[in-house]
Structure 1
Amino acid sequence: MSIDTTKGVLGDATIDELKAGLRGTVVRPGDASYDQARAVWNAAHDKHPALVVRCAGTADVIRAVEFARSQDLLVAVRGGAHSIAGFSTCDGGIVIDLSPMKGAFVDPLRRRVVAQAGMTWADLDHETQAFGLAVTGGLVSTTGISGFTLGGGVGWLLRRHGLASDNLTAAQVVTADGRVVRADAEEHAELFWALRGGGGNFGVVTSLEYELHPVGPQVLAGLVFHPVAGARQVITRWRELTADLPDELTTMIVLTSAPPLPFLPEEVHGTPVVVLAGMYAGDPAAGEAAVGPLRGLGTPIADLMGPMPYTSMQSLLDPLWTAGAHNYFTSAFIEPSDAAIDALLRHHLAKPTPFSELHLHQLGGAFARVPAGATAFSQRGAGVLCNVIARSPDATGFDTHVAWARAAREDIARHGRGAMYVNFTGDAADDKVRASYPGAVLDRLVGVKDAYDPTNLFRLNQNIRPSTAR
């Protein structure tokens, strides 16, 4: 389905009027900073917006939304610019860029933080860890907090404290008609319900308030690398052990290729491996007993599990996930049966590029204890989230890599109920949206969309179309 762009050409006088009402800046094609301003993390999306409005605060967001509506412009909202599906940019429309908005206020007594939507997880962890506090953040610290949270938010604190969205206590939102509302359990409660898992469908979130938890500064965390020959044994034993792991421990299996790093023997560089990753969100000394059985999954190539700062674990994978590569992520909630493990290993060994991966995120714990229907994020009963990642340094062969990821996902998804993680749907096709939200949840989300964005101004997302557009 093609996406419309502008209905006409924006004149200089019109843009000058926009600029006059901003504290931030406007970047246009031809400006020296245009290519930098339009770039996003995922180089698979090379778009050319008519305008990038770099907002300095909520007032600028209001002005940008009003301008977009008055000029009938396609709207992309950008926080950390990590949207895998490319929703944080567009051709011919306006990018409302929140990245300059990086303020945060931490209340250590109430264990709350109010964070502006342009922050990354590195930014927010820097502020909250000053008080020994944290909230569930991303696995790559350059990820923006806002899109990650609105779609759920899977991280190393998931089993101890739930998703990032489960810890959202309030949000400031600029709606499609330019209003500013506070959504929480008391005010705009239905909007608040929808924001916790419903994505960016309902307005521009300009700040997020989170509940914080004591974490760190030291945690027991890290990676254990195993040869691919032992992958079946590692995954099978991991599956058995995870049933009894304490909530403080969140783990993940990564089917990848060994990076060329000095702690790995040169002979395994670039070859398929299976990696156990995990973090114990408690006293590192107590974590040793919990992690111990996981160290016996097989005969490791390298065991890098040990005490480290929480912020180090949060950024541990950053060097492997820098901006500028081509990426396609898709997902399925599954149960790791023997047949599912067969499928995972089959696709791992068949991947056409060493940069592609399959991730198995352990769920359960606090994630599973959130009552059904309490938030728009709905897949609480699943045991494992499988993310299938196609990645290439450039465009060469990328279509082949994407085809591998899609085929792998379809095969692996048969070992679950077909549900997807809304942050990793690959694209915004209607079937992906339906796979992310059960029917009753989707119907309720449509009701919220009708109330706050009936014209579908905010449609660059995993789109919940309003009733008038269905």
Structure 2
Amino acid sequence: MTDEERKFERRTFLAGAAGAGGVALAGAALPGTAHAHGNGESIALVAPVTPADPQYPDLVMGLNNRWTATPDSVYVVDSPNQVAPIVRRAVRRGTKLTVRGGGHGFEDFVYNSEVETIIDMTNMNRIYYDARMKAVAVEAGAILLDVYEKLYQTWGVTLPGGVCYSVGMGGHVAGGGWGWLVRRNGLIVDHLYAVEVVTVNAAGRVNTIIATRDRRDPHRDLWWAHTGGGGGNFGVVTRYFFRSPGAHGRAPSQLLPKPPSKVLSSFALWSWSTMTEADYIRLLQNYASWHVANISPDSPTREVTSLIQSFHRSNGEIHMYAFVDSAVPNAQQMLDSYLAHLQNGVTPAVFAAQSTMPWLQFCKLTGTTNTLNNDPTLRGEYKSAFMKNTFTTAQAAAIYRAMTRSDINNPNLNIVISPYGGRTAAVPNAATAIPHREAAYKLLWQAQWANPADDAANIAWARETYRDTFADTGGVPVPNDQTDGCYVNYPDADLSDPAWNGSAFAWHDLYYKENYRRLQAVKKAYDPRNFFNHRQSVELPS
């Protein structure tokens, strides 16, 4: 540690007592307010981790081992009021700053060769009821399983967030937040009341702003930008505040959705040894046609949720998961009807089972037992697509070819086909920054491997099979009657590369469609210096 850093740490320690009241002040902030911070550095409450510190190697990489960084400083914060001084310090010194939430970023937006300062949110993870906001506050470093446990065990409620247990709330919410309850309760941002963001204005002044969905809030556009605009674009999110639209009262148990008490779940496994091309195409088209037919937000079938994880032939298996709230009328009948539709004309599964289990147990089972989603030693390449209509035969055949290519032997290669529609479709495209409300289901390409020597082969598999699937539209799922763009929480730098995106749609049109111009206006208003940026961040308007 340098002399300057020791002095900074000393100032940090001395500021602890004086700054203690800052937490209470921040917690009492009113909706639609902005707090400007002074220019002194002495109110910072955390010292940097530097390359000389033993914990440094673990703090300069995320879950995707392809991406690492060599920053001068990593600040592991544990309170929202610690963030603004670090941002101010980076602004004054002109250093490149990025933010880690849970570390699940697919691309190099946080960890890259240019970053000089990283704010690590993982210890800033409190979840509590904020009486002034009449909302449940969740700090940006909280991970999904901690959120689910606290909300359900304490108040009997939940948020319709993601499946993987260790995803951080900071980026997950900003990107829209898809999960198991998407058809039943919508996206996580459909329940977002407010967001607290540290921003930098044109003069380099650092402000902490609480922006709400209230129509009269002067910062409402900043709230809107965090309902699917993606992380790393407008400032540093420190806290989210959740209260469902139309919810009233002061008890947290009245403010958010109640999940199923128990779920009736089904699991099926097909073997590639018995799966023909015709069977496979029929399976994919059956899944897609059911979701297209059952997209309505008012249909009772919105209670049915299902995904398929199709592994490469070298793995040998294709998995299907489905569940329904066991307490809803005709739960067993709805699940059986879905399963019959899915399996119609397809070779029988070699294994199938149903069980009933409590909601939180189901979340833990599906969120913690998938090694590929949680292994910190793997490298990865990812791609996504929203789908409005049933797979064309050409698209389904292309996915079959992807899963049966003989020039690669990696049992980790897979494509996940996951549900959309239901209550998600009740929200207009422009009401949130995430615009894919007309999609019926979505796709995720996942290539994961351990050895850097295998980078080229695995990246090529993802790129080539994705391009093959959407060959009729320039190699990407352009917004049209069939496809509907890409999911910003599954970022893909190749969308910016003409070698892989041969369409007339730029990367931002695939993520944001018509909402991009409004996001640019928010960028100009709250980050006019483009201080917060990465290689696919929202651009300032020209």
TM > 0.5? yes
Name 1:72's counterpart in structure 2.
Answer: 94
CA displacement, residues 216-236 of structure 1 (integer Å, 9 cap, x when unaligned): 342223532122304333223
TM score, norm. by length of structure 1: 0.88
In 1, the alpha carbon distance for the partners of 2:325 and 2:437 equals 21
Q: Is the 8 Å Cα contact of residues 116 and 206 (structure 1) preserved in structure 2?
A: yes
Asked whether 1:249 is paired with 2:304, we answer yes
Q: Is the 8 Å Cα contact of residues 315 and 410 (structure 2) preserved in structure 1?
A: no
Name 2:68's counterpart in structure 1.
Answer: 46
Asked whether 1:162 is paired with 2:223, we answer no
Q: Is the 8 Å Cα contact of residues 264 and 325 (structure 2) preserved in structure 1?
A: yes
**Corresponding residue to 1:278 among 296, 312, 322:** 322
Larger Rg: 2
Q: Which segments of 5 or more consecutive residues in structure 2 lack a partner in the other structure?
A: 13-42, 245-255, 295-299, 480-484, 497-505
> CA shift at 1:392, angstroms?
0.6
Name 1:264's counterpart in structure 2.
Answer: none
Count of aligned positions: 446
Name 2:110's counterpart in structure 1.
Answer: 88
**Corresponding residue to 2:139 among 116, 120, 126:** 116
> CA shift at 1:37, angstroms?
2.0
**Corresponding residue to 1:31 among 31, 53, 58:** 53
Residues 23 and 135 of structure 1: is their aligned pair in 2 closer, same or farther, counting only changes over 3 Å? same
> CA shift at 1:456, angstroms?
1.2
Query: Greater CA deviation, 163-172 or 295-304?
Result: 295-304
In 2, the alpha carbon distance for the partners of 1:279 and 1:401 equals 32
Query: Greater CA deviation, 427-436 or 146-155?
Result: 427-436
SS at match of 2:48: strand
**Corresponding residue to 1:344 among 399, 417, 429:** 399
Asked whether 1:452 is paired with 2:526, we answer yes
Q: Is the 8 Å Cα contact of residues 8 and 47 (structure 2) preserved in structure 1?
A: no
Name 2:478's counterpart in structure 1.
Answer: 417
Name 1:171's counterpart in structure 2.
Answer: 195
Residues 175 and 236 of structure 1: is their aligned pair in 2 closer, same or farther, counting only changes over 3 Å? same
> CA shift at 1:124, angstroms?
0.2
SS at match of 2:241: strand
Q: Is the 8 Å Cα contact of residues 422 and 433 (structure 1) preserved in structure 2?
A: no
In 1, the alpha carbon distance for the partners of 2:515 and 2:58 equals 39
In 2, the alpha carbon distance for the partners of 1:461 and 1:278 equals 37
Query: Greater CA deviation, 287-296 or 327-336?
Result: 287-296
Asked whether 1:152 is paired with 2:201, we answer no
Q: Is the 8 Å Cα contact of residues 281 and 393 (structure 2) preserved in structure 1?
A: no
**Corresponding residue to 1:427 among 493, 510, 526:** 493
In 1, the alpha carbon distance for the partners of 2:164 and 2:491 equals 18
* Letter in structure 1 aligned against 2:509: R
Q: CA RMSD in A?
A: 2.5
Residues 213 and 30 of structure 1: is their aligned pair in 2 closer, same or farther, counting only changes over 3 Å? same
Q: Is the 8 Å Cα contact of residues 352 and 404 (structure 1) preserved in structure 2?
A: no
SS at match of 2:463: helix
Name 1:239's counterpart in structure 2.
Answer: 288
> CA shift at 1:167, angstroms?
1.8
Identity among equivalent positions (%) equals: 24
TM score, norm. by length of structure 2: 0.77
Name 1:60's counterpart in structure 2.
Answer: 82
Name 1:261's counterpart in structure 2.
Answer: none
> CA shift at 1:83, angstroms?
0.7
SS at match of 2:206: coil
In 2, the alpha carbon distance for the partners of 1:384 and 1:417 equals 15
Residues 455 and 305 of structure 1: is their aligned pair in 2 closer, same or farther, counting only changes over 3 Å? farther
SS at match of 1:88: coil
> CA shift at 1:123, angstroms?
0.8
Name 2:412's counterpart in structure 1.
Answer: 355
> CA shift at 1:38, angstroms?
1.9
Query: Greater CA deviation, 394-403 or 451-460?
Result: 394-403
Name 1:376's counterpart in structure 2.
Answer: 433
Name 1:13's counterpart in structure 2.
Answer: 4
Name 1:329's counterpart in structure 2.
Answer: 382
Q: Which segments of 5 or more consecutive residues in structure 1 lack a partner in the other structure?
A: 1-9, 259-269
In 1, the alpha carbon distance for the partners of 2:512 and 2:286 equals 31
Name 2:21's counterpart in structure 1.
Answer: none
> CA shift at 1:434, angstroms?
3.1
Residues 111 and 356 of structure 1: is their aligned pair in 2 closer, same or farther, counting only changes over 3 Å? farther
Name 2:19's counterpart in structure 1.
Answer: none
Asked whether 1:220 is paired with 2:264, we answer yes
> CA shift at 1:463, angstroms?
0.4
CA displacement, residues 447-469 of structure 1 (integer Å, 9 cap, x when unaligned): 100010111111137300113xx
Name 1:307's counterpart in structure 2.
Answer: 356
In 2, the alpha carbon distance for the partners of 1:134 and 1:286 equals 23
